[in-house]
Amino acid sequence: MTHEEIYKVTTDAAKNTLTTTEQAAADRARAAENPEQFWSEVAQRLTWSKPFSKVKDVSFDASDLHIKWFEDGELNASVNCLDRHLDNHGDETAIIWEGDDPSTDKHITYRQAYEETCRMANLLKARGVNKGDRVAIYMPMIPEAAYAMLACARIGAVHTVVFGGFSPDALASRINDCYAVAVITADEGVRGGRTIPLKANVDKALEQSSSVRLVLTVERTGAKVDMKGGRDLFWYSEARNDVSPDCPPEPMNAEDPLFILYTSGSTGTPKGVLHTTGGYMTFSAYTHEVVFDYRPGDIYWCTADVGWITGHTYIVYGPLANRATTLMFEGVPTYPDASRFWNVVDKHKVNIFYTAPTALRALMREGDELVEKTDRSSLRLLGSVGEPINPEAWAWYHRVVGNGKLPIVDTWWQTETGGILISPLPGATDLKPGSATLPLPSIQPAIVDAEGNFLEGACTGNLVLTDSWPGQMRTVYGDHQRFIDTYFKTYPGMYFTGDGVRRDEDGYYWITGRVDDVINVSGHRMGTAEVESALVAHPSVAEAAVVGYPHDVKGQGIYAYVTLMEGAEASDELEKDLVDMVRSEIGPIAKPDLLHFTPALPKTRSGKIMRRILRKIAENKFSNLGDTSTLAEPGVVDALIEGRKNR
């Protein structure tokens, strides 16, 4: 089937099976006419303890930057996700938990989720965690991770979830950046049949920080862990039974912080992206419903980890605000075998399935049979997120997973955007494989050239947003200037996404990937600067330069060029040491795929590393290296090419 045909079939199928079409079309028109009125109406889907009178107050001007939505309203995110569903729907399933071991699962009702959340909120309160305090959550994919997030929201504490695959050092730097007063963790995590020593990692992290007064440990495996008197507490065996399952919610201003989530940028250490309550909740709930065509009774599964923004918005906050049944999966797609995703779909009769291209590419390699032997007839809609989906993976997802019948929503967004900005609306948008298609209602993307001139019609350039949306990040925690400098200075008066994009003759957007020094490895954002600083921390390393290169499964792989100190010798052992160094400074997801020892790096006469050349060489593109006349030592390039060919 050609892409044209696929898109026709898919679109027709969607039009017959999905209900959002009319609604979405109406929303687009309404939002275009009066965006403030539109968002004011959309925000009514939430329960406000004090209604807002003002919808929006925004300036993208760097000298007066401010972003406020619903600023005089009050609400509580946990009330919106839990309490308001109890009267009529308390016994319905909020969370289906599927354990790493396929024989384990749990259904948790809204009432249970409410009570567990309240208990944890009461414990935090009893231990002196107050409104505005920061709490780090370092958890496996278990329901308690969601309770922990909602418990913080309930008392007005600001959570920062740290992905369980990050190292103790990475955890410590996040705890220290926001002065977290408490950590919620588990004794161990379980993934793909292996355990991860989360509590031991927390102990190591806390050797480097002094702000944490409480470590609450959920017993996941019951493994023996060290407990520090006065600081550490077990949840089930020590704390839970003494706290009440009711906890009055803290009324929060719409612009009070809900959470901080650290994400990688072009430079420096990860930034604490701060999201606030009213706008984020409005945006997550609205986009979850319209993009996934969510209908009451649907079983919805997003395969992300709660450690990433996708887990925040589309496993926890959006779905629960919509009273959805959200599936939380502890394991990995290839355990016990590569049919796992589809077995889980069949077991729980999943209707909506949302995953990342990297997982699809990995599963595609295992062959169609592992998919085809499963039923999957419950599925109605497929989604993709995190990186550009290549047409081969799109076609496989469509043809094999979706039996050639299901629409795919390719959703473009970022940690900073809080929720989806560019995506098909099922049934309302004709699909094209590999394109995130069109902006959601009220979203104002534009394409600019390197000088910031607007490009019209079909074109390629840099993706910016010229106006705000409720789910937009409000600041970099503790460093508002960095927020302004990173996002609003490159193109004055606009939010710069860091992504490159093409717009076709139908106005469809095709995201081409990052145009800054951020790489996207298996859908995980990684700053090249972070990996470089981990490498140069090794005493034998003089200098390191890290770039991305195309990788069949990961999308991008990490390519590290390393020069050594005088007297140090390149060896397999040193290579292993360096890879270990990165694992321990950041985590396994940051480990270089290719490490290239080189006597020198290509530099300009002023000493600036020419990354453009390093990228080309890593990509195996030697013929078109561009202008090398400004190189201080042109011979370096030939040596690098030789080195690359031997890899």
Residues near ligand WTA (CB under 6 A) are: 263, 308-310, 385-388, 410-415, 436, 497-499, 511, 513-514, 520, 525
* Burial (CB count <10 Å: 0-12, 13-18, 19+), residue 87: exposed
- Select 147 or 549, whichever has its Cβ closest to ligand WTA: 549
- Token pair listed for 639: 């040596």
C-alpha atoms less than 13 angstroms from C-alpha of 237 in its C-beta half-sphere:
12
Amino acid at 265: G
We find the least distance from the C-beta atom of residue 320 to ligand WTA, in angstroms, to be: 19
CA distance 212 to 229: 13
CA distance 419 to 325: 19
3-state secondary structure of 236: helix
- Give the residue carrying structure tokens 């090249």: 528
We find the least distance from the C-beta atom of residue 272 to ligand WTA, in angstroms, to be: 13
In 264-380 the beta strands, taken as DSSP E runs, fall at 271-276, 299-302, 325-329, 352-355
Residues 275, 279, 280, 281, CA torsion sign? positive
DSSP H helical ranges for 537-610? 572-585
Residue 595, strand partner residues? 560
We find the least distance from the C-beta atom of residue 269 to ligand WTA, in angstroms, to be: 16
- Select 159 or 538, whichever has its Cβ closest to ligand WTA: 159
Residues 6+ apart with CB under 8 A from 539: 565
We find the least distance from the C-beta atom of residue 56 to ligand WTA, in angstroms, to be: 24
- Select 414 or 460, whichever has its Cβ closest to ligand WTA: 414
We find the least distance from the C-beta atom of residue 417 to ligand WTA, in angstroms, to be: 8
594 — alpha (psi -120 to 50), left (phi > 0) or beta?
beta
We find the least distance from the C-beta atom of residue 501 to ligand WTA, in angstroms, to be: 9
- Token pair listed for 98: 């599927």
DSSP codes, 380-417: -EEEEESSPPPHHHHHHIIIIITTTT--EEEEB--GGG
- Select 119 or 524, whichever has its Cβ closest to ligand WTA: 524
In 126-188 the beta strands, taken as DSSP E runs, fall at 134-138, 158-161, 182-186
We find the least distance from the C-beta atom of residue 164 to ligand WTA, in angstroms, to be: 16
CA distance 523 to 482: 24
We find the least distance from the C-beta atom of residue 463 to ligand WTA, in angstroms, to be: 8
We find the least distance from the C-beta atom of residue 531 to ligand WTA, in angstroms, to be: 16
- Give the residue carrying structure tokens 């399952």: 245
We find the least distance from the C-beta atom of residue 487 to ligand WTA, in angstroms, to be: 12
- Select 271 or 380, whichever has its Cβ closest to ligand WTA: 271
- Token pair listed for 127: 């231990």
- Select 301 or 308, whichever has its Cβ closest to ligand WTA: 308
- Select 274 or 511, whichever has its Cβ closest to ligand WTA: 511
Q: What is the DSSP letter of 240?
A: G
- Select 263 or 468, whichever has its Cβ closest to ligand WTA: 263
DSSP H helical ranges for 458-568? 480-488, 528-536
- Select 235 or 412, whichever has its Cβ closest to ligand WTA: 412
We find the least distance from the C-beta atom of residue 412 to ligand WTA, in angstroms, to be: 4
- Select 76 or 411, whichever has its Cβ closest to ligand WTA: 411
CA distance 92 to 180: 34
We find the least distance from the C-beta atom of residue 308 to ligand WTA, in angstroms, to be: 6
> What is the rounded end-to-end Cα distance, in angstroms, of the chain?
37
- Select 415 or 462, whichever has its Cβ closest to ligand WTA: 415
- Select 181 or 519, whichever has its Cβ closest to ligand WTA: 519
* Burial (CB count <10 Å: 0-12, 13-18, 19+), residue 647: exposed
